[in-house]
Amino acid sequence: MYSSAHYLLQGLTDLGIEYVFSNLGTDHASVIEELARWREQGRKHPRFMLCPHENVAIHMAAGYAAMTGQGQAVMVHVDAGTANAAMGMHNMFRSRLPVMLMAGRAPGTVRGELPGSRDNYVHFVQDPFDMASLVRPYVKWEYSLSTGINAREVVRRGHSVMQSDPPGPVYLTLPREALTQEWAEEQVQAFGQDRYGPVAAGGIDEARAAQIAEALMSAERPMAVTAYLGRKAEAVEALEELALLCGIRVFEFAPSYLGISRDSPCFGGFDPGAAQADADLGLLLDVDVPWLPKYVAERPDMRWLHVDVDPIKKDFPMWGFATDMRVQADCATVLRQVIDIVRVRADQDFHERVRARLDGYRAQAKARAEGLSQAAGKRGTRGAISPAYLCAQLSAALSQDDVVINEAIRNAPAVLGHIRRTRPLTLLGTAGGGLGYSGGMALGVKLARPEARVVQMVGDGGFHFGTPTSVYDVAQRYRLPILTVVLDNGGWQAVKEAVLRVHPDGTAADTDEFHARLHGETRRFELVAQAFGGHGEMVEDPEDVPAAIARCLHAVDEGRAAVLHVRIGGI
């Protein structure tokens, strides 16, 4: 006879779950006991990684899933842990990243009627009417384990849902009494991947692939917009090949992944709105918001073709981008289909027209590079270091295999423009709106890619949200050295700019009061890393930037997390 907690662990092991990012509580007593027994017996099981705050746990799962495509488990305690993980669930849901969030539930029995019955004050106060409502807007599936006899089937079902296209979070609650129940092995059935596994999106029928190919071959000024196509390396490779084959200018808008090499002549930058003025065909490829309609005039004469793992945007109450063809499919597969058709049908005249377009793109790319170089050459002043200069210096110190997580928000254009990225899965962000994700994501990325340097770019406001004490505790405990670069402008520049967009001549503008400033003079973010044994330093003078970057990267290479606190001027 074994407890339900035993079969829960067995189910997770069956699934190939490697990590459970955890913050445990009184509701996990049986899981903790079972883990101790399994360790003593030398049984293989997922590695439990203790995270002092659930924000780090959930975003470590996000970073790991972004790198590998494989969702892991996060275990938190009751409603309190669920609430702390909810913002991360929002980010993962919007980013279409799989995770199985498991929360304990307070015992239902109060007088010792069953093993695991209530024995603590908190069991009364941590028992809300509808605990799952805390994350219900952000999950594909939810369930409460009422009996351990089907624990292996339940986690199999949750895993299949979270990994099926489009992937995303699932939520499972674990009542304490259910975890203590005991069952004979012959009572608990296994459920294999071959017959119960996830479903993946594929290609499209040849007729529609041919329509896309013909449209591209007929177009004179084709463009494409993407944001998260780069979650699959093979999709990036296919897009770069198709763009060169057909002369497509590729734009990324609010990218959560790199979609095309910055060295490609077809990379058009991050402003697809302006490019529409003279384009005659557009592709939307794995993108939620391709531009801001308020600032881009619609072109009724322009044709748009949309290929996306989620083209209807079923979880967006309002969307509003007109398309002439909309197909739900895997972009990598569809682009390969189109490439094969174009290669067969293209003639010499087509290749000549494309070659002329590419020459024009190269001239535009050169002009863009010169503009970036000029911006990076303006280093700023003491206490107001230029973000462009800082990012250019950091870019020079990184390899193209290193990974950059972008949470710079207001200074995201500097990160995107000046930290050169050319390879898939070397630039990450999130499609969600919750700040404080980049520290945990960086740790998850480092866990998945231990050979790479992992750099977290974050504003000072986002650094506060990211529960940094938990970040550097985990980094040092599990030997996951990351570099954090804090771009400190003294508050939330995005808040100030939002007010000015809506009320450009208002009282807030006249009085310069936006309720967005933070007390910057006494803040020493680098000391947070030092408190946990990491390396930390602050830089205020542009002259000191290259050496400071070198020292921080040296610390990371030696196995210590590092924080570089950079003063870039106040808001």
pLDDT tens, 65-98? 999 999 999 999 999 999 999 999 999 999 999 9
How do residues 193-244 score in pLDDT, each as one tens digit?
889 999 999 999 999 999 999 999 999 999 999 999 999 999 999 999 999 9
Task: Give me the DSSP letters along 354-366.
Answer: HHHHHHHHHHHHH
- Where is average pLDDT lowest: 52-66, 260-274, 482-496? 482-496
152 close to 10: Cβ distance less than 8 angstroms: yes
497 vs 548, higher pLDDT: 548
Residue 488 is predicted with a pLDDT of 94
Instruction: Please give the span between the terminal C-alpha atoms of the chain, in angstroms, as a whole number.
Output: 64
Residue 386 has pLDDT above 90, yes or no: yes
Distance between CA atoms of residues 113 and 117, nearest Å? 7
Residue where the block lists tokens 């200018």: 249
Mean of the pLDDT values across residues 423-434? 96
The two tokens of residue 520 are: 């910057």
Strands 403-407 and 454-459: parallel
Residue 331, CA distances (Å) to 229, 284, 343, 543 in order = 7, 10, 18, 45
How do residues 473-487 score in pLDDT, each as one tens digit?
999 999 999 999 999
Confidence of residue 519 (pLDDT cuts 50, 70, 90): low
* Short-list 501, 497, 472, CA closest to 486: 472
112: left (phi over 0), alpha (psi -120 to 50) or beta: left
381 has which bridge partners? 384
Residue 415 has pLDDT above 70, yes or no: yes
**pLDDT above 90 covers what percent of the chain?**
82
